[in-house]
Amino acid sequence: MRPRQIRDRVQFLGAVDWSRRLFDSLIPLPDGTSYNAYLVEGSEKTALLDTVDPAWEGLLLEQLAQVGRIDYLVSHHSEQDHSGAIPTILERHPETMVMCSLKAKALLLSHLGIAAERIQVVEDGETLSLGGKTLRFLYTPWAHWPETMVSYLAEDRLLFSCDLFGSHLASSSMYAGSGPHAMEGAKRYYAEIMMPFRKPLARNLQKIRALEIDLIAPSHGPIYDRPEEILSAYEDWVSDRVSNQVVIPYVSMHGSTRAMVDYLTAALVERGVEVKPFELTTTDIGQLAMALVDAGTMVIGTPTVLSGPHPTVFSVTNLANALRPKLRYAAIIGSYGWGTKAAEQISALIPNLEVEVLRTVLCMGVPREDTFAALDALADAVRDKHSAL
């Protein structure tokens, strides 16, 4: 992609990575991603806002080929998909100073080996005049690292938000517009990256709400030209509200746990509860994470392998614990062959989830009448709890 103009003397740079399919060796990227950088040229100074993943630094250098001086390089976030090309930019531009938050300095030193004398720490709320373009830096801790900050370009009412409000979407469109695709991408990104930091995010959103914003320019995905939509969506996601929805991540080896999941799903639907089962050997974990953004209850379905939960269930439960969704209730169901410690081991995996465990329903071999009765009782309990939400 060539540089694209967003506003007078404000350009959209960076790379659209159409073919990347995995992030952090963990997160599926069904729609690719992008690494956005921005250039703001004042009458006196020029600032580059973030860089790109190191794999794309050649493209960024091409985009900057006609730019004489880069006085400032604003690093909103030290993770390498945005900071990775900073060393090369500094090598090519000996005049450039890196502007970052206090906590970012230590991270840039340790992650990229940048010389300390090339880094200038900015305070929360500090402004930087470029000449007719003024950047205000706002610390936004835990969006999603401790050092993260955003920049507000006052003259253009433009917020550069880095990872915050981002989406892993490769697109030729510069703007998100309105429509489900962009918001679904944003929700997936929130679920996978931001959700563990819901409470500090709520505080950051209040800070951002005090600004008058026409555009939000993140470092992944398209620019939001209707900022109210993404701000409102985030406010909903970080709120304490949960929906009348049950998420059931499960694995079945010989069909018994699946039969229990199917029975419980039907029983919950009969009771007016929305259900999202996820068979984990085929599930896109991003879809599961998205479902966990709103759900009131998670029911974990697992067979027993070597006396514990199925390893795939173990791994996904560990991930759910790390993502810290705002679930209120949980339950464990499943079948075992000759003995099991699955429930104890799963319970020990979810210390971060502030949930009430409603019931554990385990059966030896195939489920029978008493198993189905216990699943009906679980469905009753979920209905009652959700109706009081």
> Which positions lie near ligand FEO, rule CB under 6 A?
77, 79, 81-82, 144, 163, 219-220
Q: How far is CA 237 from the centre of its chain?
A: 11
Q: Is the distance from CB of 124 to CB of 139 less than 8 angstroms? A: yes
Helix spans in the chain (H)? 57-63, 80-83, 86-92, 102-112, 180-189, 198-209, 227-238, 256-270, 285-294, 311-323, 342-348, 369-387
What is the closest distance, in whole angstroms, from the C-beta atom of residue 163 to ligand FEO in the complex? 4
In the DSSP assignment, the letter for residue 319 is H
Nearer to ligand FEO, 1 or 355 (CB): 1
Nearer to ligand FEO, 32 or 308 (CB): 32
Which single residue brings its beta carbon nearest to ligand FEO? 79
Q: What is the DSSP letter of 146?
A: T
CB 153 within 8 A of CB 217: no
Q: How far is the CB of 144 from ligand FEO (least distance, A)?
A: 6
Element (H, E) at 34: strand 33-41
Least distance in angstroms from the C-beta of 277 to ligand FEO: 31
Report the nearest approach of ligand FEO to the CB of residue 189 (Å).
Answer: 9
CA gap 78, 81 in Å, rounded: 8
For ligand FEO, which is the closer residue by CB, 23 or 250? 23
Give the DSSP letter of residue 151: E
Smallest gap from Cβ 74 to ligand FEO, in A, equals: 15
Rank residues 79 and 229 by Cβ distance to ligand FEO and give the closer one: 79
H-run or E-run covering 276: strand 274-279
Distance from C-alpha of 142 to C-alpha of 118, rounded to nearest angstrom: 25
Q: Which is nearer to ligand FEO, 75 or 371 (CB)?
A: 75
Q: How many CB atoms lie within 10 A of CB 335?
A: 27
Cis peptide before 310 (omega within 30 of 0): no
User: Given the complex with ligand FEO, which of 16 and 295 has the nearer CB atom?
Assistant: 16
Cβ proximity to ligand FEO, 71 vs 163, nearer residue: 163
**Least distance (Å) between residue 97 CB and ligand FEO:** 22
In one-letter notation, the amino acid at residue 154 is: A
Minimum distance between the CB of residue 78 and ligand FEO, rounded to whole angstroms? 8
